[in-house]
Amino acid sequence: MSGDQASHAGHERALYLRWRPRTFSQVVSQDAVTRTLRNAVARGSVAHAYLLCGPRGTGKTTLARILYKALNCQQPADGEPCGACAECRDADAGRSMDLIEIDAASNRGIDDMRALRERVRFAPTQARTKVYIVDEAHQLTQPAWDAFLKTLEEPPPHTVFVLATTAAHKVPPTIASRCQRFDLGRIPQSRIAPHLALVAEQEGIALEGGVAERIARLARGGLRDALAMLEQVAAFAGPIVTLEAALQVLGLVRGDALRAYVDALAVGDSRRALEVLEDIAQEGADLRQFADEVLFDLRGALLMRAGAGTALTADLPAEEHEWLRDVAGRLAPMRIASLLRAYSEIVSATLDDSQLLVRLELATTSDWSLDPDIAPGAPHPHAEPLSDSGSAGEPSPDEPPSARAGGEEARPSSTPEAAMVPPPASTGLTLAHVQARWPAIRSRFQGSLLDKLRLDRLAPVALEAGVVTLTGKLDSLELQQVASSTGRTIEAILTEEFGRELRVRLDNRSDPGVLPAEEGPGSLGEYAAMLFGGQLVTNES
Ligand SMILES: [Zn+2]
Ligand 1 center–CA 71 separation, angstroms: 9
| 195, part of any domain | yes
Question: What is the total residue count of the chain?
Answer: 541
CATH number at residue 245: 1.10.8.60
Ligand 1 center–CA 67 separation, angstroms: 11
E strand segments, 404-474: 458-464, 467-472
Ligand 1 center–CA 2 separation, angstroms: 21
Has residue 416 got a pLDDT over 90? no
Same domain, 479 and 526: yes
Q: Which residues pair with 163 in a beta bridge?
A: 51, 134
Ligand 1 center–CA 40 separation, angstroms: 17
Ligand 1 center–CA 318 separation, angstroms: 40
Same domain, 197 and 50: no
Ligand 1 center–CA 128 separation, angstroms: 12
- Least confident span in 122-126, 136-140, 321-325: 122-126
| 177, part of any domain | yes
Say how far apart CA 541 and CA 529 lie, in whole Å.
19
Instruction: Select from 136, 158, 183 the last residue of a domain.
Output: 183
For 342, the domain range is 255-370
Same domain, 131 and 12: yes
| 476, part of any domain | yes
| 104, part of any domain | yes
Same domain, 228 and 175: no
Selection from 197, 180, 178 nearest residue 189 by Cα: 197
Say how far apart CA 215 and CA 294 lie, in whole Å.
15
Say how far apart CA 505 and CA 469 lie, in whole Å.
5
* pLDDT at position 299: 87
C-alpha separations of 340 from 76, 215, 427, 499 in Å: 50, 23, 12, 21
Has residue 515 got a pLDDT over 70? no
- The letter for the amino acid at 390 is G
Q: Which residues pair with 469 in a beta bridge?
A: 462, 505
| Dihedral, CA of residue 20, residue 22, residue 28 and residue 30, to nearest 10 | 120
Ligand 1 center–CA 70 separation, angstroms: 7
Q: How does pLDDT run across 91-118, given as a tens digit for each residue?
A: 999 899 899 999 888 888 888 888 888 8
E strand segments, 78-217: 99-103, 130-135, 159-165, 180-183, 206-207
| 404, part of any domain | no
Ligand 1 center–CA 85 separation, angstroms: 4
| 343, part of any domain | yes
Give the pLDDT band (50/70/90) at residue 534.
very low
When the pLDDT of each residue in the chain is averaged and rounded to a whole number, the result is 77
Instruction: Taking residues 495-502, report their average pLDDT.
Output: 82
Give the pLDDT band (50/70/90) at residue 195.
very high
Give the pLDDT band (50/70/90) at residue 395.
very low
Ligand 1 center–CA 13 separation, angstroms: 23
Counting residues of the chain whose pLDDT is more than 70, the rounded percentage is: 77
Q: Which of 71-80, 408-417, 526-535 has the highest mean pLDDT?
A: 71-80
Instruction: Taking residues 337-345, report their average pLDDT.
Output: 87
Ligand 1 center–CA 81 separation, angstroms: 5
Same domain, 8 and 53: yes
* pLDDT at position 508: 65
Give the pLDDT band (50/70/90) at residue 377.
very low
Residue 73, classified by CB atoms within 10 Å of its CB into exposed (0-12), middle (13-18) or buried (19+), is buried
CATH number at residue 316: 1.20.272.10
* pLDDT at position 521: 32
Same domain, 98 and 34: yes
Q: How many CB atoms lie within 10 A of CB 307?
A: 8
Ligand 1 center–CA 260 separation, angstroms: 53
Which long-range contacts does 254-259 make (Cβ < 8 Å, 24+ apart)? 255/210, 255/214, 258/290, 258/293, 258/294, 258/297, 259/323
Between strands 467-472 and 458-464, the pairing is antiparallel
Q: Which of 161-175, 279-293, 357-371, 472-486 has the highest mean pLDDT?
A: 161-175
Has residue 399 got a pLDDT over 80? no
Q: How does pLDDT run across 447-496, given as a tens digit for each residue?
A: 666 677 778 778 888 888 888 888 877 666 677 767 777 788 888 888 88
3-state secondary structure of 188: coil
Secondary structure percentages of the chain, helix, strand, coil, to 5: 55, 10, 35
Cα angle: 338, vertex 342, 346; to 5 degrees: 165
Ligand 1 center–CA 484 separation, angstroms: 61
Ligand 1 center–CA 269 separation, angstroms: 61
Instruction: Select from 137, 165, 183 the last residue of a domain.
Output: 183
Same domain, 447 and 495: yes
Name the more confident of 365 and 27: 27
Name the more confident of 386 and 91: 91
DSSP conformational letter for 428: B
Greatest distance between any 2 Cα atoms in the chain? 87
Has residue 420 got a pLDDT over 70? no
Let me know: does 104 contact 136? Beta carbons within 8 Å. yes
Say how far apart CA 37 and CA 44 lie, in whole Å.
10
Ligand 1 center–CA 84 separation, angstroms: 5
| 336, part of any domain | yes
Ligand 1 center–CA 72 separation, angstroms: 7
Ligand 1 center–CA 75 separation, angstroms: 5
Same domain, 34 and 147: yes
Give the pLDDT band (50/70/90) at residue 234.
very high
Q: Which residues of 14-40 are buried (b: 16+ CB within 10 A; e: fewer)?
A: bbbbbbbbbbbeebbbbeebbeebbeb
Ligand 1 center–CA 62 separation, angstroms: 16
Ligand 1 center–CA 37 separation, angstroms: 16
Ligand 1 center–CA 38 separation, angstroms: 14
Ligand 1 center–CA 90 separation, angstroms: 10
The CB-side HSE value for 379 (13 A sphere, CA atoms) comes to: 8
Has residue 423 got a pLDDT over 80? no
CATH number at residue 37: 3.40.50.300
Instruction: Taking residues 42-63, report their average pLDDT.
Output: 93
- The letter for the amino acid at 59 is G
Name the more confident of 499 and 223: 223
- Least confident span in 110-119, 216-225, 441-450: 441-450
Ligand 1 center–CA 83 separation, angstroms: 5
- The letter for the amino acid at 386 is L
Instruction: Select from 313, 348, 370 the last residue of a domain.
Output: 370
Same domain, 214 and 194: yes
- Least confident span in 32-36, 53-57, 148-152, 498-502: 498-502
Question: What's the total number of domains in the chain?
Answer: 4
Ligand 1 center–CA 459 separation, angstroms: 69
Same domain, 156 and 9: yes
ipTM of the complex: 0.99
Selection from 296, 224, 293 nearest residue 56 by Cα: 224
Same domain, 147 and 89: yes
* pLDDT at position 539: 32
Say how far apart CA 134 and CA 127 lie, in whole Å.
19
Has residue 371 got a pLDDT over 80? no
Same domain, 529 and 448: yes
Has residue 236 got a pLDDT over 70? yes
* pLDDT at position 476: 66
Ligand 1 center–CA 95 separation, angstroms: 14
| 380, part of any domain | no
